[in-house]
Amino acid sequence: MKSARRTLALILALLFLLPACAHGEKPKEPAPAAETEASAAETEAPTAEEPGTPTVQEILDTWEEAVTEIHYPTARPAKTVIRIPEPSSYSEKLTLASLQGLAARLSDEKILFRVGAADLYTPYMESEWGVTITNRVGGKPANFENLLAGYRDLCAGYILCAADPADPSVSVAVSLAGILDAVIATPDTCSAVEKAGYPLVLDVTGKDDKWLRASEYWDALSRDFAFEQPASMAPKLVDYAVMARAYFNFYDGKSAAAHKKMYEYLSDGAIVFGYNNSLGEYDTVKSFSEMNIQMVPSDHAYNLSTLSCFPKYTLTQKEREVPDTPEAVHTLCIVMSDGDNLQWVLNNFATSSEWYANPHRGEFAMGWGISPAALDTAAPMLAYLYDKASARDEFMMQLSGLGYTFPSRWDKAARQKMAHDLAEVMGRADLHWAEILDDHGFTEESLGDFAAEDGIDGIFYIDYSHYAGLEGEILWLGDKPAVSARYMIWSDHPTGNLGFIARRINRASTDPTDEESYSFLIVHAWSGLKDGKLAAHGNTLDAVASLVADLNENVEIVTPGVFMERLITNCAPKN
């Protein structure tokens, strides 16, 4: 395994040393939406490569063999990215999303929908990966017809399904598009697809999930990945499911047993992308956890197939502020919740003043959660977040595994392997602290499997039923602490009131050798200030800033790393 990692690291290092890369340059500001980009033909030709330097094609040829250590669906590195606006019609979105997924896996020219925070991270594709950004395909504007024509030789043909998003044939078509290398067409886009030269490969009109499972194609679908997503939300996640050659469907019901039955074919440790508001968060996560499966919340995520084509074996956070250790303070660590939501990170997390774009960010130390999937599925976005971090910002892993799960419900052997894989991913993303959310899982048996990994230096714990229900209890796992949340900012809970929290913290112990002198506060990302009061969907970071303003001078707010280091130094049990 170590040999494989060294091989991958070498390949990626060589990739980043290619002359097209521009390391050290400041990323360009995003172009205005109306600005027309130059065609690939108009860009400056790359300089000649140094003797002995592998060509891009040589790296591409070895990439698929080298990515065996990646735990998420990952495709060939990009050379060119074609940016397009999101089409207005459902059928065109579906067709282009399937084409995007095929292009991600089979071509060096990728497709990117210009949605969410794409304008923030696209410049990093150029500056950090040397990728050419264009809005043209084959020298022509990248409209619907020209995109179909430009990728015709890539595809075997097309799959026909219904134009109605509620029709089960849509999920069947998405599930099969990747394994048949076929774009998806509906009666609304069929004529354009045929005009571009695509023959009909399979008509699944009238077919449903039962037909799919009994078909000759079922065994060809991935056993490591699946997608739980209403077909009506296309193109979100369609591209990634097609790229991953994975099952795409949605359980629209209330029975946990029926939900389990849909996904029981998956392997231990499998990852399901999407979300299920129908069954509900708790029952969905519990259902998956009892099968040793984890979920990456991503139902509103665009472009994951393309974003997975930016390999970065490691990504390092900026150096952070390390304050002097005073003799008598209450040490407080504040952490934002829900960073495991890839959809949020890729959409308005970084653009909204409620969170990362808030002007108060950087005035006080803050812990920010991020999904361990971010490095391999959205490296350009992660590069942006790391680059824009202040000296008082630190990212930590959220949540519970390679995806959202309740680890205490896993079989021990499966949990140990998951913890090992998680530590490996965390190390590559420079994440040292794991946040575990579980359903009454604050136990040595469950958390000890994470603490046993060298790449996990400590654990922040929140309980599903009540984030701060354990009131700051600390469990020592050898010399590593698992620290439960003592406080939470959450509009739906009386103990989440800002004034209540400030009064409690201001009266708390300041003895550095006393565990009561250390408080972990979790901030519910969907609560904040609205009209001067804490409310659902208010400004979250404004609420944090309001709390900070009410704290006494003997309360010091520090990053997760400083918090854990102080706690370990002063309170770890003596051998």
Q: What is the pLDDT of residues 520-562, one digit of tens each?
A: 999 999 999 999 999 999 999 999 999 999 999 999 999 999 9
Taking residues 295-299, report their average pLDDT.
97
Backbone angles phi, psi at 331, to 5 degrees: -90, 120
Is 284 found in the same domain as 356? no
The whole-angstrom distance between residue 129's C-alpha and the CA centroid of its chain comes to 19
Q: Can you read off the two tokens belonging to residue 71?
A: 């735990």
Q: For residue range 379-401, what is the model confidence (pLDDT) as tens digits?
A: 999 999 999 999 999 999 999 99
For residue 112, the SS3 value is: strand
User: What DSSP element (H or E) covers 434?
Assistant: strand 433-438
**For 470-509, how does the pLDDT look when each residue is reduced to its tens digit (9 = 90+)?**
999 999 999 999 999 999 999 988 777 899 999 999 999 9
Does the residue 498 lie in any domain? Answer: yes
Residues 6+ apart with CB under 8 A from 34: none
Please say which residue of 307, 340, 369 terminates a domain.
307
pLDDT band at 69 (very low <50, low <70, confident <90, very high): low
Contact (Cβ atoms closer than 8 angstroms) between residue 333 and residue 563: yes
Alpha carbon distance 263, 355 (integer Å): 35
Q: Is the domain of 400 the same as that of 296? A: no
Do 96 and 221 have their domain in common? yes
Residue 58 domain-assigned (yes or no): no
- Does residue 375 sit in the same domain as residue 239? no
Q: CA 101, 103, 106, 110: dihedral to nearest 10 degrees?
A: -120
CA neighbor of 371 nearest in space, from 345, 349, 335, 348: 345
Say if residue 495 is in the same domain as residue 546.
Answer: yes
Residues 280, 238 within the same domain? yes
User: Does residue 504 sit in the same domain as residue 451?
Assistant: yes
Summarised one tens digit per residue, pLDDT across range 392-435 is: 999 999 999 999 999 999 999 999 999 999 999 999 999 999 99
pTM of this prediction?
0.89
* Angstrom distance (rounded) from CA 230 to CA 248: 9
Alpha helices in 204-339 (DSSP H): 209-214, 238-244, 256-263, 281-289, 304-307
The pLDDT of residue 320 is 87
Helix (H, G, I), strand (E, B) or coil at 491: coil
Q: Please indicate, yes or no, whether residues 164 and 214 belong to a single structural domain of this protein.
A: yes
Which range marks the domain in which residue 549 is found? 330-571
- CATH assignment of the domain containing 425: 3.20.20.490
Inter-residue contact 288 to 402 (CB < 8 Å): no
Confidence of residue 64 (pLDDT cuts 50, 70, 90): low
Kindly tell me if the per-residue pLDDT of 321 is higher than 50.
yes
Among the three residues 307, 339, 354, which one is the final residue of a domain in this structure? 307
Examine the fold and report which residue of 273, 307, 341 is the final residue of a domain before the chain moves on: 307
Same-domain check for residues 286 and 339: no
pLDDT tens digits, one per residue of 258-273: 999 999 999 999 999 9
pLDDT, one tens digit per residue, over 447-463 is 999 999 999 999 999 99
Q: Are residues 165 and 116 in the same domain?
A: yes
558 found inside a domain: yes
Looking at the structure, tell me whether residues 294 and 335 fall in a common domain.
no
| Residue 401 within a domain | yes
Mean pLDDT of 310-328: 86
Q: Are 392 and 334 in contact (CB under 8 A)?
A: no
The answer on 286 and 138 residing in a single domain is yes
Q: What is the pLDDT of residues 332-351, one digit of tens each?
A: 999 999 999 999 999 999 99
- pLDDT for 479: 94
Q: How many domains does the chain have?
A: 2
- Span 86-118, pLDDT tens digits: 999 999 999 999 999 999 999 999 999 999 999
pLDDT in tens, 3-49: 344 344 444 443 333 323 322 333 333 333 333 333 333 333 333 33
Asked whether residue 150 is domain-assigned, the answer is yes
Question: Is 1 a member of any domain?
Answer: no
Q: What is the CA radius of gyration of the chain?
A: 24
Task: Give the tens place of pLDDT for each residue, 164-216.
Answer: 999 999 999 999 999 999 999 999 999 999 999 999 999 999 999 999 999 99
Please determine, for residue 374, whether its predicted confidence score (pLDDT) is greater than 50.
Answer: yes
